Structure 1
Amino acid sequence: MFSQCRFAAVLAAAAILSTTAAEAQPAKSKLDDVLSRGRLVLGTGSTNAPWHFKGADGKLQGFDIDMGRVIAKALFGDPEKIEFVTQSSDARIPNITTGKVDITCQFMTVTGERAQQVAFTIPYYREGVGLMLKANGSYADYAALKAAGSSVTISVLQNVYAESMVHAALPQAKVDQYESVDLIYQALESGRADAAATDQSSIAWFMTQNPGRYKDAGYGWNPQSYSCAVARGDQDWLNFVNTALHEAMTGVEFDFYAASFKKWFGVDLAPPQIGIPVEFK
């Protein structure tokens, strides 16, 4: 009886040790899966220039698309080793949590609520609201608009926060709301509005498409960060993507990042300062 009890105890101890050892084994990272597959599966949109949209050749292009190519190049040495899954904005988080995509890069604003569902990468762009003026218009810049007070009319996309958003920058301005971005630009062009208020990236893109006709008023507000997103709980994968994006903005892939920024936003970026990394100054 004693030997049987001792044998049972040994079996139980072995089972415990086996379970503990299994639990100690690190879970396989998405990084390993992507490398084994040989391509990155990226979730993004297809209808919002300059972020993600189809060109004349039917292929996706835009700043989000370029950020995906940055990650693909870091993975495989080839920015073309990427598969795009086009998705609506509502599908951005579900497609990550269900594993349909490896990562989403789709002008996704970082919020605390979303960060409870997905893991955000470091930001690759800081968005904000800006004001676009006609190059030959009555107002030179933001200071002139603000000084004009209630005589200024601002066109803006219709939404429940539109008026308060504009008044945060121009407290006395008249606010005219329109149902589409095209209409707010038309109001500016026709003279019904003195300035158009919209995302600064949209202003930059519109100005690159219409050189010399418009100008930025030189003031931005309502900042928000755009980041890619991956599934929670996979630090190796998150670290890798962060490294790829970080080095695009500050290191070995800066030329690619800067060329993309210039193409889509019309802005020449100053190269990263040599010496102590700027993030540690």
Structure 2
Amino acid sequence: MLVLSVAATAVHAEDVLGRIREKKTITIAYRDAAFPFSFLDQDKKPVGYSIDLCLKLADAIKQQLKLPQLAIAYVPATSDNRMDLIQNGKADLECGATTNTAERRKSVAFTIPHFVAGERMLVKTDSNIKNWPDLRNKKVAVTKGTTNLKPLEGRGQVRALNLKVVDGRDHNDSFHILETGGADAFATDDVLLYGLKATAKNPSAYAVVGDPLTTEPYAIMLSKTDPAFKKFVDGEMSRIIHDYEINKLYDKWFLKPIPAKDNFTLNMPMSYLFRDSLRFPTDQVGN
């Protein structure tokens, strides 16, 4: 199997479908703590909204390649290494909660967004923190490798409020920093904060607050050097959206009890922004 370097992409395109056909295996990069998009269930198996979408894509690839069987291999991803896994050919699809941004599109590609989030913060209920100005001279946990720090800096709030940023290794670590008093708030995408709050030992001890700082279109990440593979994935994502299969998956993970999380229910209706985006599916986003 040939794995192309980034420098070689100007001359040669990667053949992801060919690699999958040869190995009769598709490799999915997953996150272990991005509930409800991608996380580990009680049996340590990757599950979630994004995982279900990727399994639908895998089934379409199996049919396209006319394979009697297609194995699913999972590789764990972090905020730091998820792009490298795609660029180095160690994963065919990254199925987590990754925002499609212009900066990231210099290195990888994204298919049509399957969720739209906004950056807010998680705080302790008794902290009296309600919005960003309440963070003056306080510490804020931000997960390393995410897009959540830049909006704070872009609005000038870090300097104006004299904030101190504390890096978390992953979302669980950032929450632990907040939980143990190492930070006064944890800033990241609102849906991830609702998931962390819901699965905390004492959910009522935490609150998601703050005006949204950003619009975060989550999308499945794939190789930038194989336009044919991207075209196929985009086509299948469009079909999933137009056939309302994505609505059924949304209901399963955001509105109904989740067996993998002790039948917890997020009770998060689809936002107007996301619902509107599904009317005209496109991978073209403004970030």
Let me know the Cα RMSD of the aligned residues.
4.5
Report the Cα distance in structure 1 between the residues aligned to 2:204 and 2:214, rounded to whole angstroms. Answer: 27
* Residue equivalent to 1:187: 181
Q: Secondary structure at the match of 2:86?
A: helix
Q: Cα deviation per residue 1:149-187 (whole Å; 9 max; x = unaligned)?
A: 85x84533488x969827938676463544541122333
Contact 2:37 2:49 in 1 (8 A): yes
Contact 1:184 1:196 in 2 (8 A): yes
Q: Secondary structure at the match of 1:242?
A: helix
1:155 paired to 2:148: no
Following superposition, the deviation at residue 209 of structure 1 comes to 1.4
Following superposition, the deviation at residue 71 of structure 1 comes to 1.6
* Residue equivalent to 1:57: 43
Following superposition, the deviation at residue 105 of structure 1 comes to 2.6
More helix by share: 1
Structure 1 counterpart of 2:199, one-letter code: Q
More strand by share: 1
Report the TM-score, using the length of structure 2 for normalisation.
Answer: 0.61
Q: Cα deviation per residue 1:49-86 (whole Å; 9 max; x = unaligned)?
A: 55444333121234442332232244458xx9532133
Report the Cα distance in structure 2 between the residues aligned to 1:196 and 1:90, rounded to whole angstroms. Answer: 18
Listed as ranges, the matches of 1:164-179 within 5 Å are: 165=152, 168=155, 173=161, 175-179=163-167
Percent identity, aligned pairs only, is: 20
Q: 1:100/1:50 Cα in 2 relative to 1: closer, same or farther (>3 Å)?
A: same
Q: Cα deviation per residue 1:221-247 (whole Å; 9 max; x = unaligned)?
A: 144433223333544421332233344
Aligned length: 241
User: Quick one: which of 91, 112, 125 aligns to 1:101?
Assistant: 91
* Residue equivalent to 2:279: 278
Contact 1:104 1:228 in 2 (8 A): yes
Report the Cα distance in structure 1 between the residues aligned to 2:143 and 2:107, rounded to whole angstroms. Answer: 29
Report the Cα distance in structure 2 between the residues aligned to 1:238 and 1:59, rounded to whole angstroms. Answer: 27
Max radius of gyration: which structure? 1
Q: 1:130/1:88 Cα in 2 relative to 1: closer, same or farther (>3 Å)?
A: closer
User: Quick one: which of 108, 121, 129 aligns to 1:131?
Assistant: 121
1:260 paired to 2:262: no
1:118 paired to 2:108: yes
* Residue equivalent to 1:198: 188
Unpaired runs of 5+ in structure 1?
1-26
Q: Secondary structure at the match of 2:107?
A: coil
Q: Cα deviation per residue 1:215-270 (whole Å; 9 max; x = unaligned)?
A: 32252114443322333354442133223334445533120133224459921327
1:228 paired to 2:220: yes
Q: 1:183/1:93 Cα in 2 relative to 1: closer, same or farther (>3 Å)?
A: closer
Contact 1:207 1:214 in 2 (8 A): yes
Contact 2:151 2:214 in 1 (8 A): no
Structure 2 counterpart of 1:112, one-letter code: A
